[in-house]
Structure 1
């Protein structure tokens, strides 16, 4: 039996959380980035790694000093997939390191993770995907097996001040984003931040990263990005994590608020549609709700030159 040791909180020095990307990815903590296969998770995390290795700013954040990144993947080939993707997003490949798994597979509790972070002074560790790194004897559906593994990895992250991002797939069931990750809910509970990546319900060519869980700061705004030969961040999006997953119903009180906003802004005549969208976003009214409100009000869309305008329908012509 271990000898009892107590920690007096008066002896604990309070410290502020440090961030790789506020409020999405904290240093010294575990972050989970999850989504369905093919939705852009790997492209996104490699773009983040590229900016970090070059000391460039992530969206909405200040630039930090160029840093090393450890990237472990069990799904894609290093030479024919990962290297070309890194080059495509402009990563400094001299700062991207990989733990050699040719003789022994890596797991979340592997001591080589700590050794690699300390040796390279890496500021970001990426494990892609979660299922490949749990270890042969760990059942991801059993809390008693998951907790010790994540506890140890969390300790490594804290002791090295390295941000750890674990990429995970999602299951097909559940009604809340926190229950869509594969395996035990304790996996999500161990992370301080959970990010969900998926296709925009408004444009399948656009991807969205939405904040599903944020323990250390207010949840961040959703981030839009575009895949293809030229990966691009597109700024913030009003799409919520539940809308991204396709099961958020339109709440009637928010819908009525959206209608009132539209009628007020159009009370003196036509208005640029983008200005209405901006006003709705400031009131936390999603694009989906705004479109529903416009449809029920029968709002007309008119293009003049290069701009779109919203117009109230003639009296007696509003949609039922």
Structure 2
């Protein structure tokens, strides 16, 4: 065996060393020149604000369908209590447009087209008869409540169906869209949350602006609470409802003795577009068209204040009356539906439950597929006594 103690590594030339340092430990070639300078990272392109040059924008006049009342491309709200005739008033407006008839203040309506979205009234037994009572041209008025979603029918949802709604408005050149009621097409939304309401109404108002369609949305108002409450504060829900709308109409009782049906007033409580017109008086016999009676005797604000002063009542009195009205036909109702109706009326659920304890209301539990449902109904004898009285 050779003596390794005397072994010496071979001498390498400068060229050999330069060649070897050009490889890393894995035998991959390494650059032998100076290290490249780092390249700057490409900046992500972000959205930017583009100020508008106002010199390039021509001023436009408000495009009125009904001067002072109904404007193209704007969101309007019509507020009132249940039974105040809000839906009938909206149908009267749509019918007038469909024939180019006369407005209640004497002006002339343009000939137009209307789309009605009724979430509460039946189409065959309520909407169509009312249109005929007001001599509408039903070839120029349509009704829509549902979406065809991949073969499945569902209610129109303003939180996600704005684009589909806009397509229909543009394709059919509708001048008026009636949403009755507005909250009926906001499923799952918190109607008392400012942000949630604005997230729905802002795109809706923008759609109206793009299409030039006047939007008339129906809303319920709360119970009168004295003279200190402003009209817009009576709309049930967040203040954003009244804030986003450009015009807000309201109805109120019109005082005075008449031989015919009770008279009411219709007025504008908010307008961002023009001076508010005078309130108008109207009345309606059962199953008949609205009759207009000229200017109201007072402003709509004064009439609303007057209607808000009521004798002192306990909350339980309101809850008792609410339950008798709701269950008076003898049909059982889900407790959850009663609770929602009470919320809309501004009555606390605990007050409703206490009032129910003093009424002949039967409560029963029904189990279906392992899920419990609770029903409330007036007992048959109490329904009979109510009918007699």
Same fold (TM over 0.5): yes
Q: Deviations over 1:127-167 (max 9, x none)?
A: 0012101232x211111111121111111111111110000
Q: Which residue number corresponds to residue 217 of structure 1? A: 274
Which of 294, 298, 304 pairs up with 1:239? 298
Q: Which residue number corresponds to residue 108 of structure 1? A: 158
Separation of aligned partners in 2, 1:186 and 1:233: 31
Q: Which residue number corresponds to residue 19 of structure 2? A: none
The Cα of 1:60 is off from its aligned counterpart by 2.7
Is 2:131 aligned against 1:86?
yes
Q: Which moved more, 1:145-154 or 1:202-211?
A: 202-211
Which of 258, 265, 285 pairs up with 1:208? 265
The Cα of 1:61 is off from its aligned counterpart by 5.1
Is 2:205 aligned against 1:154?
yes
Separation of aligned partners in 2, 1:135 and 1:6: 36
Q: Which moved more, 1:68-77 or 1:10-19?
A: 10-19
Contact 2:118–2:145 (CA under 8 A) maintained in structure 1: no
Q: Deviations over 1:263-302 (max 9, x none)?
A: xxxxxxxxxxxxxxxxxxxxxxxxxxxxxxxxxxxxxxxx
Gap change, CA 1:214 and 1:100, over 3 Å in 2:
closer
The Cα of 1:43 is off from its aligned counterpart by 1.3
Q: Which residue number corresponds to residue 179 of structure 1? A: 233
Separation of aligned partners in 1, 2:177 and 2:221: 21
Separation of aligned partners in 1, 2:83 and 2:307: 22
Q: Which has the larger radius of gyration?
A: 2
Structure 2 unpaired stretches of 5+: 1-45, 148-152, 309-389
Q: Which residue number corresponds to residue 183 of structure 2? A: 131
Q: How does 1:171-320 map to 2 (within 5 A)?
A: 171-172=222-223, 175-203=229-257, 205-228=262-285, 229-247=288-306
Secondary structure at the aligned position of 1:38 is classed as coil
Separation of aligned partners in 1, 2:145 and 2:79: 25
The Cα of 1:247 is off from its aligned counterpart by 4.2
Gap change, CA 1:20 and 1:219, over 3 Å in 2:
same
Contact 1:32–1:168 (CA under 8 A) maintained in structure 2: yes
Structure 1 unpaired stretches of 5+: 250-320
Contact 1:201–1:243 (CA under 8 A) maintained in structure 2: no
Q: Deviations over 1:38-63 (max 9, x none)?
A: 01111111111111100112123532
Separation of aligned partners in 2, 1:53 and 1:104: 28
The Cα of 1:13 is off from its aligned counterpart by 1.7
Task: Provide the aligned C-alpha RMSD in A.
Answer: 2.0
Gap change, CA 1:248 and 1:200, over 3 Å in 2:
closer
Q: TM-score, normalised by structure 2?
A: 0.61
Q: Which residue number corresponds to residue 96 of structure 1? A: 141
Higher relative contact order (CA 8 A, sep 6+): 1
Contact 2:175–2:212 (CA under 8 A) maintained in structure 1: yes
Q: Deviations over 1:108-133 (max 9, x none)?
A: 34222211111110000000012101
The Cα of 1:196 is off from its aligned counterpart by 0.4
Secondary structure at the aligned position of 2:155 is classed as coil
Secondary structure at the aligned position of 2:61 is classed as coil
Separation of aligned partners in 2, 1:54 and 1:184: 36
Q: Which residue number corresponds to residue 120 of structure 1? A: 172
Separation of aligned partners in 1, 2:52 and 2:169: 28
Contact 2:220–2:235 (CA under 8 A) maintained in structure 1: yes
Q: TM-score, normalised by structure 1?
A: 0.73
Separation of aligned partners in 1, 2:283 and 2:307: 24
Secondary structure at the aligned position of 1:104 is classed as strand
Q: Which residue number corresponds to residue 257 of structure 1? A: none
Is 2:197 aligned against 1:140?
no
Separation of aligned partners in 1, 2:135 and 2:243: 34
